[in-house]
Amino acid sequence: MFLNFFIGFIAAIVGVIPPGLINMSAVKISMTEGRKKGLLFSAGVCITVFLQTYIALLFARYIDMHHEVVDMLQKVALGIFVCIAIYFFFIAKDIRKETPNEINHSKTNRFFSGTFLAALNLLPIPYWVYISITFAAFGWFKFTQPELWACVLGSGLGTFLVLAIYVWFFRRKESHTKLKINMNYLIGIITAAISVITLIKILKDM
């Protein structure tokens, strides 16, 4: 259970670190409405993440029983992660991405706006399918119910931690830009490491 929790926690951090609509929205809310509402928005996002992760893990458990599908997904994922690593190493390092200007500033409960915005993002589902199947192939991930819930809990806490960091520290554009440059290299290193792990697994099964 601890290993499942740890994998869920770290994978969530890696998945949420890249600047995107959700974390940039959390930053904008924090800058315009205060940190408390930014954290409330982040909590709403995490509720949706709990559900998305659980659905993805159930789907992954089914796929894990059909190894021919797993082999194909691993090869496709290898190409995707190599492209992501190349992007963050050689392209994204010079990009300056501003926080979105158009954010709804109505009095709607930020908690529910967080759950809704996160629900529009379906990318976490295939992400968690790949992560769980890959680590399960190494014997590091289990699909029994207690272990699944441990991973779901880890994913939610990891997501909230990253969003909280965005909300708390990224209040000045200068500090946001400076840290983001270093972050791109970090993402590139992580995705390159995942690519190596996937390649080793593919070669091992050949």
CB 118 within 8 A of CB 48: yes
* Pair of tokens at residue 75: 């090869």
The pLDDT tens digits for 12-25 are: 998 888 777 788 88
The pLDDT tens digits for 125-176 are: 888 888 888 888 788 899 898 999 999 999 999 999 999 998 888 654 444 4
Question: Which pLDDT score, from 0 to 100, does residue 30 have?
Answer: 84
- In sequence order, the 6+-apart residues with CB closer than 8 A to the CB of 66 are none
**Whole-angstrom Cα distance, residue 93 to residue 7?**
27
The pLDDT tens digits for 18-67 are: 777 788 888 888 888 888 888 999 999 999 999 999 999 998 888 777 66
Question: Which pLDDT score, from 0 to 100, does residue 183 have?
Answer: 55
Roughly what angle, to the nearest 10 degrees, separates helices 124-137 and 173-205?
A: 40
Max CA separation in the chain (angstroms): 57
Coil, helix or strand for 34? coil
* Pair of tokens at residue 90: 């050689």
**Whole-angstrom Cα distance, residue 134 to residue 70?**
9
**Whole-angstrom Cα distance, residue 180 to residue 198?**
27
Vertex 184 angle, CA 46 and 182, to 5°: 105
Mean pLDDT of the chain: 78
- Which has more pLDDT, 89 or 96? 89
